[in-house]
Amino acid sequence: MVTLIETIIFSSLKMAKLYFYYSAMNAGKTTTLLQSAYNYRERGMNTLVLKPKVDDRHAAINVRSRIGLESDAVSFEAEDDLFALTEKTDQHTKLSCVLLDEAQFLTKDQVFSLCEIVDELGIPVLAYGLRTDFRGELFEGSLNLLAWADELVEIKTICHCGKKAGMVLRLDENGKPMSSGDQVKIGGNDIYVSVCRKHFKQQQAENILDGSGTNLSS
């Protein structure tokens, strides 16, 4: 005999999913995250907003979008156990959803933890992040989210030519696109530009032609 509470728990376990919302830069990922968090809270449901410590653009305990929305957040580091953190929070305040900003910076183990939150705790997880870096290569977090998430949702933005922009260019201090350097460098609108694949390829070809891959400022 299945009791009512078991039915509720079972249906929530069945419904919980890991979502990966991915895009290029400046497509409104954080705005979308904050809107979702707001929708939950408006219905009296609790959420946990997480963000990796690598992003120090704003106060460490806030997630803030470029259009001014913001929310309290819990920051974490690469070695932190996101399952334990979520379970502890959930025991204290029943959670309806976990939202995660800058998900490209997750480690493989942390993506696995997100799966455990969904599968073992029955809490939906919405992760938002970049798909590729400025070299056109997957981030560790994105690679593992693309492999493990239940649902993949693209947040679209457009290139200067009007096509969908799926790639990211990183500009140096002179506004020239770079083709090498550290994968992680946090910045605002002036450092990263989203372009379509055709214009990304064109830029890479130009970088090879002028041999400026490593130092474009010379």
Residues near Zn ion (CB under 5 A) are: 159, 161, 163, 196, 199
Give me the catalytic one of 6, 102, 151, 206: 102
Cα angle 90, 94, 98; round to 5: 65
Q: What is the C-alpha to C-alpha distance for residues 190 and 213, in angstroms, rounded to an integer?
A: 19
Whichever of 84 and 161 has its CB closer to Zn ion, that residue is: 161
Q: Nearer Cβ to Zn ion, position 78 or 161? A: 161
CA pair distance 206, 18, nearest whole angstrom: 39
| 102 annotated active-site | yes
Tell how far CA 1 is from the center of its chain: 42
Contact assessment for residue 16 and residue 124, using Cβ atoms and an 8 Å cutoff: yes
Give 130 or 196: the residue with its C-beta nearer to Zn ion: 196
Residues in the chain: 218
**Which residues does the annotation mark as catalytic?**
102
